[in-house]
Amino acid sequence: MKHVITLFLAVATFAACAQPDKWNSKKFFTVASYNVENLFDTINANGKNDEEFTPSGKKNWTSQRYHEKLSHLSEVIAAIVPENGQYPDIVAIIEAENIAVLRDLAAQKAISGAGYQCILDEGPDPRGIDCGLMYNPQTFNYVSHKSFTVKLRPSNDRTRDILYVKGLSGKDTLHVFVNHWPSRIGGKEKTENKRAQCADRLKEITDSIIKRDPQCNILIMGDMNDTPDDESVLNILGAKGTTQYARLNNIMYQLQQAGKGKYGHGTYYYKGNYDMLDNLIVSNPLLTRTKGFRLYENTGYIFAPNFISFKESNGDIAPSRSYSGKYYGGYSDHYPVYMIFYKK
**Exposure string over 201-228, b if 16+ CB within 10 A, otherwise e:** bbbebbeebbeeeeebbbbbbbbbbbbb
Are 272 and 316 a contacting pair, CB within 8 Å? yes
Strands 172-180 and 217-223: parallel
**Mean confidence (pLDDT) of the chain:** 90
Answer with the residue of higher pLDDT: 106 or 23.
106
pLDDT of residue 10: 37
Is the distance from CB of 277 to CB of 270 less than 8 angstroms? no
Please name the residues in contact with 171: beta carbons below 8 A apart, sequence gap of 6 or more.
Answer: none
With a CB cutoff of 8 Å and minimum separation 6, the contacts of 120 are 93, 96, 98, 99, 102, 130, 131, 132, 133, 163
Domain ranges for the chain: 16-342
- Of 3-17, 95-109, 210-224, the range with the lowest mean pLDDT is 3-17
Return the SS3 of 208: helix
Tens digit of each residue's pLDDT (9 = 90 or more) over 203-217: 999 999 999 999 999
| pLDDT over threshold 50, residue 14 | no
Q: Can you tell me the distance from the alpha carbon of 180 to that of 36, in angstroms, rounded to the nearest whole number?
A: 12
Say what the pLDDT of residue 8 is: 34
Which class would CATH give 16-342?
Answer: alpha beta
pLDDT in tens, 222-275: 999 999 999 999 999 999 998 778 999 999 999 898 876 565 579 999 888 899
- At 288, which helix (H) or strand (E)? helix 285-288
What's the distance, Cα to Cα, between the start and end of the chain in Å? 48
Complete DSSP assignment for 14-69:
-SGGGS-SS--TTTEEEEEEEEEEEE--SSPPTTS--GGGSTTSTT---HHHHHHH
- Paired with 120 in beta bridges are 132
Residue 50: CB atoms within 10 A of its CB come to 22
| Between 21 and 320, residue with greater pLDDT | 320
Chain segment 39-74, per-residue pLDDT in tens: 999 999 888 889 999 999 999 999 999 999 999 999
Model confidence over 300-330: pLDDT tens digits? Answer: 999 999 999 999 888 889 999 999 888 999 9
| Residue 19: predicted pLDDT | 66
CA distance 13 to 17: 8
Interhelix angle 99-106/63-80, rounded to 10 degrees, is 60
d(CA 116, CA 118) in angstroms, rounded, equals: 6
Statement: residue 5 has pLDDT above 60: no
Q: How far apart are CA 318 and CA 266, in angstroms?
A: 9
